[in-house]
Amino acid sequence: MNEGTSQYYFTASMDSGKTLCSLLKAIQFQETAVFCALAEGLKLTVEEGKCVQASAYVPSDNFTEYHVRDDVDVMFKISIAVLAECLNIFGSGEESSLKMYYRGEGSPLLLVLQPQSMHNVMTDCEISTQTADSVLELRDEDAAEVAKLVLKAPAFLGLLADLERSCDVIEINLSPDHPNVSIITYGMQDRSCIDMPKSSDMVQSFSCESPVTLRYQLHHIRLIMKALGISTKVVLRCSSNGLLLLQLKLEKEDQRQMFSEFYIVPLLDD
């Protein structure tokens, strides 16, 4: 196969597509994603309106084989739902080896999957691709970072899971003074407040120079929950313009890492 790879824009293989599949499912809140194969790794991005942008990023060292032609842009739109179902074709209990091929613009993404435990079966998939629109650039280079905190992902997930779903708005107060982090939700009649001092052992690092209050749609924040469920660590970065960036790290058994990141646009003040 090596001989022929040059005719493909992109080829990759890995021993098990299972973690990749969970990572895709974690950002699968929209039907289509922009699939982008970079020299450093594979990146899939989904957007909700112009409010949330989520990406899954798989560094190339997760693959046993990874080739991208350096003279072309490998970027196309694909159904992330179909891609995740195909990766999971033998079920979540099964580790299946995965090979990916992409011949060039307009051609489908080809997948070949073979379960590790059974040798008399294999699946091949042709997933159609479309030309990608550009991806939103939500980051404003001029906006300074006003706060950064690093949290343990499972504990943070526990906090988010306990928030009342019926609330529309989540308010995050960050301050150099105790309690440092305060998350407030407003329900129909009630108000709930979570205080988290930087001394908490779920806070791995905290930096914030002056108090800041940020408000987001709770629904948008909840989109990160699946990703939190498979990650070990989450970094929250707040810009002076209110844009929230969450970077999540997923650590695999083989010591390799995969990432997801979410940009969330703040609610405007009335």
Partner 1 sequence: MKCHVPGANVKVLGRTVHALARFGDELYLESLPDCILLRTLNAAESAYAMVKFNKNFFSYFNYNYYSTEDNEGLKCKISMKSALNTFKSPTHMDKQVENLEIKLDADACKLIFQLKCRHGIVKTHFVTILDCKAMQAVYTKDTVPNRITSPQRILSDALNNFQSSDDQLTLEATPLSLILRNYIDCSIDLTKIIRTQITLKPAEFDSYVIGTETIITFSLKEFRALLAFAEALNLPLQLHFETTGRPAVFIVHNGITFEAHFVLATTKPDSTSQTTATQNTSVERKKRKDTTSTQGSVKKKPHLDMDVSKCLDEDSHLFNFVEIPDENFIESNNKQNGHVSKDNKNNSKVEAMDCDNIPASPTSKTIKSVFKRCFESTFDPRSIQGVILAENSDSD
Partner 2 sequence: MKFRAVMIDAGPMREFSNVVTIISKLSKECVLRLTDDKLYFIVSEENSGPTPPILWCEIPQAMFCSEYQMLGLDEEHKDIYLSFSSGNLARSLVILKTAKSLKMKLTKKQCPCLTLEIEMPSTTSQQTRQVTHDIPVTVIPRKLWTDFHEPRIPDPDISIELPPLKQLRTTIDRMRTMTSEVVIRASAEGRLTLQIRTDMAKVSTRFKGLRVEAFGGPIDHSDSETETQMNEDMSRVCYCRVDAKKLSMFLSAEQISTNRTVCSIVHRKLVILCLTTDESVKLQCFIGGIVY
Interface residues with partner 1 (CB under 8 A) are 155, 158-159, 161-162, 164, 179, 187-197, 199-203
Interacting residues with partner 2 between 128 and 147 (CB under 8 A): 128
Element (H, E) at 228: helix 225-230
126 binding partner (options partner 1, partner 2, none; Cβ < 5 to 8 Å by kind)? partner 2
Fill in the per-residue mask, 37 to 76: x = in contact with partner 2 (CB under 8 A), - = not in contact. ----------------------------------------
From residue 120, alpha-carbon distances to 86, 100, 116 in Å are 18, 20, 10
In the 8-state DSSP scheme, what is residue 16?
-
Q: Provide the token pair at 33.
A: 């994603």
Q: Which residues touch 20 (CB under 8 Å, ≥6 apart)?
A: 14, 58, 62, 87, 98, 258
Q: Give the nearest distance from C-beta 213 to partner 1 in angstroms.
A: 17
Q: Based on the shown chain and the rule CB under 8 A, indicate whether residue 90 belongs to the binding site for partner 2.
A: yes
Q: Find the distance separating the first CA and the last CA of the chain, reported in whole Å.
A: 60
Q: Based on the shown chain and the rule CB under 8 A, indicate whether residue 206 belongs to the binding site for partner 2.
A: no
Of 52 and 89, nearer to partner 2 (C-beta) is 89
187 binding partner (options partner 1, partner 2, none; Cβ < 5 to 8 Å by kind)? partner 1
Q: Of residues 123, 241, 247, 257, which one binds partner 2 by CB under 8 A?
A: 123
- Gap between the Cα atoms of 128 and 56, Å rounded: 20
Of 17 and 266, nearer to partner 2 (C-beta) is 17
Of 126 and 140, nearer to partner 2 (C-beta) is 126
Of 94 and 251, nearer to partner 2 (C-beta) is 94
Q: Based on the shown chain and the rule CB under 8 A, indicate whether residue 112 belongs to the binding site for partner 2.
A: no
Amino acid at 45: T
Q: Which residues touch 199 (CB under 8 Å, ≥6 apart)?
A: none
Q: Of residues 82, 159, 194, 202, which one binds partner 2 by CB under 8 A?
A: 82
Size, binding site for partner 2 by CB under 8 A: 21
Q: Provide the token pair at 55.
A: 């990406």
Q: Give the nearest distance from C-beta 131 to partner 2 in angstroms.
A: 15
Q: Give the nearest distance from C-beta 109 to partner 1 in angstroms.
A: 41
**Sign of the alpha-carbon torsion through 216, 257, 85, 136:** positive
132 in helix, strand or coil?
coil
Contact 150, 235 (CB under 8 A): yes
Of 65 and 85, nearer to partner 2 (C-beta) is 85
- Gap between the Cα atoms of 240 and 114, Å rounded: 48
Q: Which residue, among 168, 164, 178, has the nearest Cα to 215 in the 3D structure?
A: 168
Q: Of residues 85, 148, 179, 247, which one binds partner 2 by CB under 8 A?
A: 85
Q: Based on the shown chain and the rule CB under 8 A, indicate whether residue 4 belongs to the binding site for partner 2.
A: no
Given the rule CB under 8 A, which residues bind partner 2?
79, 81-82, 85-86, 88-91, 94, 108, 118, 120-128
